[in-house]
Amino acid sequence: MKKILFAVAALVMGLTACNNNAPAAATEGEQAAVTTGKIAYFYIDQVVAEYKFAIDQNTEFQAEYDKVTKRLAATEQAIEKDYSKLQNKVVELQDKVNKVLITRANAETEMQKLAAEEAKIQERINKHQQEAQKVGNELAEKEMVINNQIVNNIYEYVAKLNSDLRYDIVLSSQTVGGPIINANPALNITAEIVAGLNASYTK
């Protein structure tokens, strides 16, 4: 959950909500009439941690990540095991040659077999590395899509929440280390955003 949470926090830091349909310019009198002077803020890491969509997406992603990692690890272990056996065969053959327990012709034949076996293992290694790279890229892309979906959902909900311009600005922060160091708790709309997002979420 932390990977997605931190990634989303980095994307959303500084998120503000405003009415894009507001006039581009207004006279001083008009500005005074439409400005409320109210500011609200929310903690993005808390929103993501409690947002059911983010939780479900992270759970599914983590399950897929674990499955893929386990499969790749099993393949790698199998290759390492076969390579270790090959090394033992090479050592045994060399020992026979040193003790003259095998003819030179037979030794050369056996060495050619071992070389062919090594080539096959190297081919498996190359294929495994290519697959690991491909899967890694696919998982990274999927994680980025999830992060963007979470960010987009939060952004759209904040814009909807503030469509009546009850707040002049809505700021995002983190519970620890964010730009908001001290603020009136009454301006904290984190719980309201979480409740709204979860209410509109259908799995």
Identify the structural domains of the chain with CATH numbers, from first to last: 2-200 (1.20.1270)
Strand partners for 124:
none
Give 80's pLDDT tier (boundaries 50, 70, 90).
Answer: very high
pLDDT (mean) for 91-99: 96
* Model confidence at 152: pLDDT above 60: yes
pLDDT at 37: 81
Give the pLDDT score at 115. Answer: 97
Reported as a single tens digit per residue, the pLDDT across 121-151 is: 999 999 999 999 999 999 999 999 999 999 9
Q: Partners of 173 in the beta sheet?
A: 43
203 pLDDT above the threshold of 80: no
pLDDT at 20: 39
Nearest to 186 by CA among 13, 39, 16, 37: 39
Q: Tell whether the model's pLDDT for residue 7 goes beyond 70.
A: no
CA–CA separation, 79 and 30 (whole Å): 74
Q: Average pLDDT in the 27-53 region?
A: 79
CA dist., res. 109 & res. 96, Å (int): 13
Q: Please state the rounded mean pLDDT for residues 45-66.
A: 97
Sign of the torsion formed by the C-alpha atoms of 181, 184, 189 and 191: positive
Percent of the chain residues past pLDDT 70, beyond the cut: 82
Question: Which has the higher per-residue pLDDT, 10 or 90?
Answer: 90
Residue 202 pLDDT: 81
Return d(Cα 180, Cα 16) in angstroms, integer.
Answer: 14
